[in-house]
Amino acid sequence: MTEDEEEPSSQEQGFHLLLMSPQIFATQSLPDVGTVTIGRSSKCVVQIEDPLVSREHARLHVRAAADGLSLSIEDTGSANGTRVRDAAIKAGEEVKFQVGEAVIVGSTLMMALPNRASAGPRRLWSHAYFEARVE
- In this prediction, residues 20-46 reach a mean pLDDT of 94
- Beta-bridge partner residues of 59: 37, 74
Question: Rounded mean pLDDT of 118-130?
Answer: 73
- pTM equals 0.76
Query: Rounded to 5 degrees, what angle do the CA atoms 88, 15, 93 make?
Result: 25
How would residue 23 be classed by pLDDT, with cut points 50, 70 and 90?
A: confident
Residue 10 in this model has a pLDDT that exceeds 50: no
Is 23 or 94 the better-scoring residue by pLDDT?
A: 94
Read off φ and ψ for residue 81, nearest 5 degrees: 75, 170
CA dihedral 4, 8, 27, 48 (to 10 degrees): -150
Give counts: helices (H), strands (E), the chain: 2, 11
**pLDDT (tens digit per residue) in 58-87:** 999 999 988 888 999 999 999 999 999 999
